[in-house]
């Protein structure tokens, strides 16, 4: 029994490392896919295809999807966490460097904490959380200060990108707060499958309304990036994530949120020439410290519920 548990633990650490790497690369993949694929279509194709493939895999294994009675809330989760959460990140990366976007997304626990204090039955904001919020906010201000203080103010497009990232964090925070008020599905993969399908369909509707189909072209770079998002960002990445969460402490698994931005920053700087100097390093460190102060004071149940529903 102990030997079997040790094997699962070793495999879970490998899965966790895979999550850190695979989800860190998704920011670069999004940036490359945007070269020829409109933003809503990137998410629509990624999540619809990944959700359908995962549904086929589950059915082949004899596993059942959640009953139709659960579909409305899974659709809401898909809208909040994929449509708004991931969709906002994709939209922002049209104008915001992928490394900056990753750092801003890493600060989503600030929104989660703030939203929790305003919702019925939410947790009160503690002094420690307030300190963490202030530290993290100072890092975000430092990160974007050159654009905010430039002559003429922040550019219109960069401002749109920053706004989209905040929408993404709010969507993620609302989805996480909503999820902790619901009973967790017995089959996490089944719930994730429908969440991805619903989220993908919302983005598909947005893409169709905005006429993105006529704007899409494919190159080997953008096609390869989209394929990466479908296979490694969603199918492989999420499977590894759920497995790691099953056999490792939540506090260990949650560290992926600190590793992803580092990988995104390095790849964005090396492969796309995105700016990331000493100021950005200091700002990112402040964000990470603030997140650490806020996140690791949370009761395990909150973190578990939020993590189990995350799809990179």
CB atoms within 10 A of CB 79: 21
pLDDT range class, residue 229, cuts 50, 70, 90: very high
Distance CA 126, CA 79 (A): 30
Residue 223 exposed, middle or buried by CB count within 10 Å (0-12, 13-18, 19+): middle
Please check the confidence at residue 209 and state whether its pLDDT lies above 80.
yes
Distance CA 19, CA 41 (A): 24
Calculated CA dihedral for residues 128, 106, 270, 145, nearest 10 degrees: -70
Q: What is the pLDDT of residue 119?
A: 60
Please check the confidence at residue 203 and state whether its pLDDT lies above 90.
yes
- Closest residue by Cα to residue 305 from 195, 185, 190: 185
Across 157-180, b (16+ Cβ under 10 Å) vs e yields: ebbbbbebbbbbbbbbbbbbbbbb
What DSSP assignment string belongs to 43-111?
HHHHHHHHHHHHHHHHHHTTPPPPPGGGHHHHHHHIIIIIIIIIHHHHHHTTTS-HHHHHHHHHTHHHH
**Which helix or strand (DSSP H or E) is residue 19 part of?**
helix 2-33
- Closest residue by Cα to residue 83 from 196, 192, 184: 196
pLDDT range class, residue 172, cuts 50, 70, 90: confident
pTM above 0.75, yes or no: yes
CB of 284 within 8 A of CB of 250?
Answer: no
Give CA separation, 96 vs 3, 31, 163, in Å. 47, 9, 11
Distance CA 84, CA 26 (A): 17
pLDDT in tens, 49-106: 999 999 999 999 888 888 888 889 889 988 988 899 889 999 999 998 888 888 878 7
Residue extents of the structural domains in the chain: 2-308
Distance CA 278, CA 95 (A): 21
Please check the confidence at residue 200 and state whether its pLDDT lies above 90.
yes
CB of 81 within 8 A of CB of 177?
Answer: no
- Closest residue by Cα to residue 81 from 180, 222, 8, 218: 180
State the chain's mean pLDDT as an integer.
Answer: 79
CB of 38 within 8 A of CB of 215?
Answer: yes
Residue 239 exposed, middle or buried by CB count within 10 Å (0-12, 13-18, 19+): middle
- Closest residue by Cα to residue 179 from 119, 230, 126: 119
- Give the distance, in angstroms, between the CA of residue 86 and the centroid of all CA atoms in the same chain: 6
pLDDT in tens, 32-62: 999 999 999 999 999 999 999 999 999 998 8
């Amino acid at each position: 029994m102990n030997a079997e548990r040790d094997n699962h633990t070793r495999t879970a650490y490998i899965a966790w490392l895979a999550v850190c790497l695979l989800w860190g690369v998704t920011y670069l993949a999004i940036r490359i896919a945007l070269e020829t694929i409109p933003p809503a279509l990137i998410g629509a194709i990624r999540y619809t295809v990944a959700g359908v493939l995962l549904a086929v895999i589950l059915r082949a294994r004899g596993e059942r999807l959640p009953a139709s009675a659960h579909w409305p809330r899974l659709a809401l989760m898909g809208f909040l966490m994929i449509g708004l959460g991931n969709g906002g990140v994709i939209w922002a990366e049209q104008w915001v460097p992928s490394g900056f976007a990753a750092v801003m997304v890493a600060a989503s626990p600030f929104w989660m904490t703030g939203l929790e204090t305003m919702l019925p039955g939410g947790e009160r904001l503690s002094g420690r959380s307030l300190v963490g919020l202030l530290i993290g906010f100072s890092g975000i201000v430092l990160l974007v200060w050159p654009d905010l203080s430039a002559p003429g103010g922040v550019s219109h497009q960069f401002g749109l990108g920053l706004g989209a990232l905040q929408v993404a964090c709010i969507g993620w925070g609302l989805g996480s707060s909503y999820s902790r008020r619901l009973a967790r599905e017995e089959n996490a993969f089944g719930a994730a499958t429908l969440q991805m399908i619903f989220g993908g369909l919302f983005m598909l509707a947005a893409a169709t309304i905005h006429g993105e189909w006529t704007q899409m072209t494919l190159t080997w770079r953008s096609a390869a990036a989209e394929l990466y998002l479908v296979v490694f960002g969603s199918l492989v990445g999420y499977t590894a994530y759920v497995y790691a969460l099953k056999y490792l402490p939540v506090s260990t698994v949650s560290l992926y949120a600190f590793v992803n931005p580092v990988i995104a920053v390095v790849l964005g700087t090396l492969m796309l020439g995105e700016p990331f100097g000493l100021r950005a390093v200091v700002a990112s460190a402040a964000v990470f410290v603030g997140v650490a102060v806020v996140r690791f004071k949370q009761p395990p149940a909150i973190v578990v519920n939020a993590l189990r529903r995350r799809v990179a």
